[in-house]
């Protein structure tokens, strides 16, 4: 099995740097996709309440036979569930759908300025992170944002490094569009005997980003 590097978060938790994302995978397809990923050696799964596929993710985990302690599972708080009591209830609902007694990381999916409170966050920019720290004294362990070579988020990544926040990249290969047809990537892929997607993913790994490529095609998942 491939050895996946881990990153130590600012609270001491270790997170696999390479994970499998299930954004835009339909509930009817997600069980097979996640099973394929787990069979291929992925041990980090990233889902969200908003994706509507937590039940399938949980089913795939159970069917895989992979021990829970070997997995790192992330889900995210939906936008209409902000606030202490609502967030706690939403987490309980996610756990029920997943069939798990805990998740390893729970993120605010998008900032809502009147309500943003949590440890892990998603799609926060520097002003949101600064307000979170100022009002709560909390520096999040991770911030999951759109990030790829055409949208490198250099200023935000520098802020993360300065404050000990791990950077997670969603849409790490630009949703498989024009980015993967870039001539420079094609040249590098030919030079190293890799695919353009693999070149981009290595770019993320070398930067220290945590990445979640997504596919429903078994060969691409592997």
Query: In 10 A of CB 158, how many CB atoms?
Result: 11
Which of helix, strand or coil describes residue 111? Answer: coil
Q: Which long-range contacts (CB under 8 A, 24 or more apart) does 11-14 make?
A: 11/119, 11/141, 13/104, 13/105, 13/141
Name 219's Cβ contacts closer than 8 Å, sequence gap at least 6. Answer: none
Task: Report the relative pairing of strands 210-211 and 142-146 from DSSP bridges.
Answer: unpaired
H or E element: which one contains 160? Answer: helix 154-163
159 is catalytic: no
Q: Which has the closest alpha carbon to 23: 42, 51, 3? A: 51
Which of helix, strand or coil describes residue 173? Answer: coil
Catalytic annotation, pick one of 42, 51, 159, 192: 51
**How far is Cα 207 from Cα 203, in angstroms, rounded to an integer?**
6
H or E element: which one contains 194? Answer: none
Q: Which has the closest alpha carbon to 109: 93, 91, 97? A: 91
- The residues carrying an active-site annotation are 51
């Amino acid at each position: 099995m491939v050895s996946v590097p881990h990153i130590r978060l600012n609270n001491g938790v270790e997170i696999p740097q390479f994970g499998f994302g299930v954004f835009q995978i339909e509930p009817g397809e997600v069980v097979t996709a996640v099973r394929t990923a787990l069979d291929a050696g992925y041990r980090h799964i990233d889902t969200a309440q908003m994706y509507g596929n937590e039940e399938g993710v949980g089913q795939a985990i159970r069917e895989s036979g992979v021990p829970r302690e070997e997995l790192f599972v992330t889900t995210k708080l939906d936008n209409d569930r902000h606030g202490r009591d609502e967030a706690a209830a939403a987490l309980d609902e996610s756990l029920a759908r997943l069939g798990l007694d805990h998740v390893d990381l729970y993120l605010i999916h998008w900032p809502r300025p009147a309500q943003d409170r949590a440890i892990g966050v998603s799609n926060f920019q520097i002003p949101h992170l600064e307000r979170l720290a100022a009002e709560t004294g909390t520096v999040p362990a991770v911030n999951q944002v759109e990030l790829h070579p055409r949208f490198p988020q250099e200023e935000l990544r520098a802020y993360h490094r300065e404050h000990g926040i791990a950077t997670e990249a969603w849409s790490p290969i630009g949703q498989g569009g024009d980015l993967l047809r870039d001539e420079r990537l094609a040249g590098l892929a030919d030079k190293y005997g890799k695919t353009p997607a693999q070149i981009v993913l290595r770019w993320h790994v070398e930067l220290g980003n945590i990445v979640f490529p997504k596919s429903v095609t078994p060969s691409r998942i592997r």
